[in-house]
Amino acid sequence: MLAVDGVEGFTTRKVAEQARTSPPAVYELFGDKAGLVREVFFAGFRLLGDRFAGLRESDDPRADLLRAVQVLRTFVRGNPVLAQVMFSRPFADFDPGPAEREAGVVTREFIVGRVRRCVDAGIIDGDPTDIAHGLLALAQGLAMQESAGWLGSSRASVNRRWDLAVNALLAGLARC
């Protein structure tokens, strides 16, 4: 429903209609609209975590990190509105608390682990957590721009801009 109707069309009444139930039943299950959005938020991070879990480590830490970024890119491109709920907080009545922030830890820690391998291998230099936050912010921004059609008019230009941004960040962190 989010993918079809977007954030604006995501109402408790519409969710109830789609589920062939009543708004009071939705409220009974989720408490309020914020509770419903919270469950969507958690489901998004579970889906992304499942995608990361499918990645195996190779002997090339940099390639493994780039594959993780690609998984995030593909996830956001395939689920732009869900990613918006996860990363942008588009609902005024949903203010993520500690439990919701914890949902993103799996994603962050996965990326931190991949960055740490690059640091340990001498490929890049810096604090793995700081680098992971920067890389995630870059990837999320690029993915949202791509989903909105603002990153380029051809697949080649979009891919070129992704490669430029991610490789420039990693090159800037290379050990001298």
What residue ranges define each of the domains in the chain, with the CATH number in brackets?
Answer: 34-172 (1.10.357.10)
Looking at residue 160, what is its pLDDT?
97
| Cα dihedral sign, 146-151-153-159 | negative
Give the span between the Cα atoms of 129 and 7, in whole angstroms: 31
Question: Taking 80 as the threshold, does the pLDDT of residue 124 lie above it?
Answer: yes
Give the span between the Cα atoms of 24 and 47, in whole angstroms: 28
Amino acid identity of residue 8, one-letter, is E
Structure-token pair, residue 45: 């991070």
Helices (H), 121-154: 128-147
Sorting pLDDT into bands at 50, 70 and 90, what band is 92? low
How much of the chain exceeds pLDDT 90, in percent? 57
Give the span between the Cα atoms of 45 and 42, in whole angstroms: 5
Higher pLDDT, 97 or 69: 69
Looking at residue 146, what is its pLDDT?
93
Give the span between the Cα atoms of 124 and 17, in whole angstroms: 51
Q: What is the pLDDT of residues 42-85, one digit of tens each?
A: 889 989 999 999 999 999 999 999 999 999 999 999 988 888 88
Question: Taking 70 as the threshold, does the pLDDT of residue 137 lie above it?
Answer: yes
Give the span between the Cα atoms of 21 and 39, in whole angstroms: 18
Listing DSSP states for 74-129 in one string gives HHHHH-HHHHHHHHT---TT----HHHHHHTHHHHHHHHHHHHHHHHTTSB-S-HH
- Give the count of alpha carbons within 13 A of 27, CB side only: 5
Higher pLDDT, 54 or 102: 54
Closest alpha carbon to 95 in 41, 18, 53, 156: 41
Write down the pTM of the prediction: 0.85
Sorting pLDDT into bands at 50, 70 and 90, what band is 91? confident
> Lowest mean pLDDT: which of 12-26, 91-105, 141-155?
91-105
Average pLDDT, the chain: 90
What is the pLDDT averaged over residues 6-27? 88
Higher pLDDT, 173 or 7: 173
Residue 100 · residue 41 · CB < 8 Å: yes
